[in-house]
A = this chain, B = another copy of it.
Amino acid sequence: MIRHKSKVFKRYIEDRGLKSTRQRDDIVNTFLKSDGHLTVEDLHMMVKKVNSKIGYATVYRTMKLLFDSGLAAERKFEDGQTRYEHADPGEHHDHLICLSCGSIMEFEEERIETLQVEVAKRFGFEVVNHNLELYGYCKKCKKGKNDLADQH
Contacts and interface: CB of A to CB of B under 8 A. Distances in A.
A50 interface: no
A130 to B, nearest CB: 5
Contact of A142 (B80, B124, B132, B136): B124
Given A138-B123, A138-B125, A115 B111 contact: yes
A123 B137 contact: no
Interface in A75-133: 76, 78, 80, 96, 98-99, 105, 107, 109, 111-112, 115-116, 119-120, 122-133
A14 to B, nearest CB: 29
Contact of A130 (B128, B133, B138): B133
A116 to B, nearest CB: 6
Nearest to A145: B126
Contacts of A130: 132-135
B129 A131 contact: no
A106 B112 CA distance: 17
Interface of A: 76, 78, 80, 96, 98-99, 105, 107, 109, 111-112, 115-116, 119-120, 122-139, 142
